[in-house]
Amino acid sequence: MNFTYIIVGAAVAVSFGAGWMLSNSSDGQPPTVEAKASENPKQARPSNLGGASASAAISAANSPRKSVSESAEKSEEATPKDAERGKRRADFRKKMGSRMIDRQKEKFETKIANLVEKLGLTPQQEEQLRAHYAKKTEAYKELMAGGFENMRSLEGMEKVAAVMGDDDLGAAMEDILSDEQLGDYMALKSSERKNGIETKAMKSMASIQGIVNLDDTQKDAVYDILYAEAEVGADKKSPMSSMMSHFGGGMMMYIDTSVIEKRMIIEADESLDADQKKLKVEEMQKASLDAKVSRFDGILTEPQQKQYHQSLESQSKWMRGWGGKRGR
């Protein structure tokens, strides 16, 4: 199973409480979703994230692939019970797909209500805004009609992220709002951006403090670095990070989307064989891990850096477990 497909599926499963995305259960029903991880950063380790969904993902990733002949043989031996089970699974996935579309529509409705209230939109302006989101809803339906195949490439993720996000809202607002309202809208966007950066930085800070104990001077220095990184991330969102931010929720604290994207590029390189891909992925992951630690050179003590490195290495191994043993 494709590593990226597993990660995206797990994020969707966590977001919607839908273990069915990754389940190999015989009846196609969703597995039991375990209790949420503790809010205590020291207890909320990635090994427990996602509950049954993560366990199912790891199981799916490590299960051996079947050859075409094996699949064909199994198809020829299919029984009425297999057909019934397949229908149940298909029906369940269809229902969950509809639920995802409904949830996205609810998100759009919330955005519309928020903008109507804060910008004082007239009924005509609200109608224009609804028309904008109606087009996005239809585009989302078309993308979801293809299942989750659209999320298996950076190009596909970019399309999904564009539909789910609001990068195109500014241009639409220029045609809808008065000059005064447009000024209020820009101020609102600036405030939301600032809040988003602060939230990202504080979550990252909480994650680090869950690993090492920092004194006040270290906290200030580390937070400054994390805030600067969050600012860059807010202005230069990648397709993966944009899409996962909508699906992943708290799971995003433990997923480095830049590493996933680099891994996707390596996996898509047809000039490399499986062993070469595995080696390149391992080298890339090590370089990324080392860079995360070295950004705090001169701030963390040597024992703290070692402790932080060990924790990141454990998280990296957890992620590699999701990708399987073949470097794929």
Residue 66: CB partners within 8 Å, gap ≥ 6? 74
pTM, full prediction? 0.66
Helix axes 80-119, 123-145, angle to 10 degrees: 160
Give the confidence band of 251 by pLDDT, cuts at 50, 70, 90.
low
Q: Tell me which range, 86-100, 109-123, 135-149, 243-257, is most confidently predicted by mean pLDDT.
A: 109-123
- For 201-213, write each residue's pLDDT tens digit: 999 999 999 999 9
What is the C-alpha to C-alpha distance for residues 110 and 107, in angstroms, rounded to an integer? 5
Residue from 82, 60, 64, 83 nearest 13 by CA: 60
Q: Provide mean pLDDT across the span 60-87.
A: 61
What is the C-alpha to C-alpha distance for residues 281 and 323, in angstroms, rounded to an integer? 11
197-214: b or e for each residue (b if 16 or more CB lie within 10 Å)?
Answer: beebbebbbebbebbbeb
Is the Cα torsion angle 23, 25, 26, 30 positive or negative in sign? negative
Give the confidence band of 58 by pLDDT, cuts at 50, 70, 90.
very low
- For 162-197, write each residue's pLDDT tens digit: 888 888 899 999 999 999 999 999 999 999 999 999
Residue ranges per structural domain of the chain: 3-67+76-323
Query: Residue 302's pLDDT is what?
Result: 96
What is the C-alpha to C-alpha distance for residues 51 and 3, in angstroms, rounded to an integer? 18
Q: Provide mean pLDDT across the span 129-141.
A: 93
- Model confidence at 287: pLDDT above 80: yes
